[in-house]
Each structure stands twice: as structure tokens, then as C-alpha cells.
Amino acid sequence: MDWETFWKLIGTLDGGTEMEPIGRLTHFLSSRPLSEITGFGELLAEALYRLDLESFGANMSGDQFLYVRAAVVAAGRAAYQSVFEDPANFANFADRWGEPLLYVAPRAYERQTGEEWDRDTRYSFESYSNHEGWRR
């Protein structure tokens, strides 16, 4: 999967992470080739990793920071890019909870294969894993 396709899929969420848009995306992805499911998971992890910066999450717990980063991604490409252009834009997402986005690829994978998603992505999306983004 390439970034253009990834962002088109994210665009189907219309910025939402409620059950309905997440369910639609999961259903669509589960009907695609396995390589697209894993590719979506890889690019989501990379997008979240790139947001794992001290300038965004210094005052948040690990889980809160992860879920807010997921909300930024769910808001789409323009919102994602805007936080890098002006880090103050990240605060606009502080009250949003994007956790459901984290389960799209694993659930699509499980629906298609009948097996649990038991794979690591190239980039870790866990908070504080981007060591270059944190001065600790």
C-alpha cells in the first residue's frame, strides 16, 4: 500500500473514530488482499510513530498521547500535516480519542484469515518509542 491509498482510506472516516465509520473501513479493508491489510497497518504505525514527538506529548500519559495521535491521523492528511507545520495545532485534538483506529488492521486481518494479528510493524506506534523525538 502506498501513502496515497492510505490517506484515501483514512478519508472515508470523515475525521470520525466512532463505531460506524471504523466498522465500514474495517469491513472494506477485510475484503482487500492481505497485503493491503498489512500495508495499512504498517503505514498507520509509521504515521503514529512520526507524531511521537516530545513537542506534542510532553504533558500526556502514554495511552492518552497514543489515542490523541490516532485522532490526528483519523482527521486526515491535511490535519496530520498541519500539526507538523504548526505544533500548536496538535492541541486541537487533545480532547479526541482515536483508539478505535488502532484496531482496524488487526480486525480486518482476523476477519480475512480467521487468525489473530500477531505481527510487529516496522515502526512502533507506542508512545515514546520514537527515541529521536524525545530528549529523555
Which tens digits make up the pLDDT trace of 47-100? 999 999 999 988 899 999 999 999 999 999 999 999 999 999 999 999 998 999
Cα 127 from Cα 15, distance rounded (Å): 21
pLDDT for res 29: 97
Q: Up-side HSE of residue 87: CA atoms within 13 Å toward CB?
A: 9
Quick one: DSSP state of residue 2?
-
- CA 82 to chain centroid, in Å, comes to 16
pLDDT for res 59: 84
pTM: 0.95
pLDDT for res 57: 86
Grid look-up 488487526 returns 106
**In the predicted model, is pLDDT for residue 136 greater than 70?**
no
Cα 107 from Cα 27, distance rounded (Å): 9
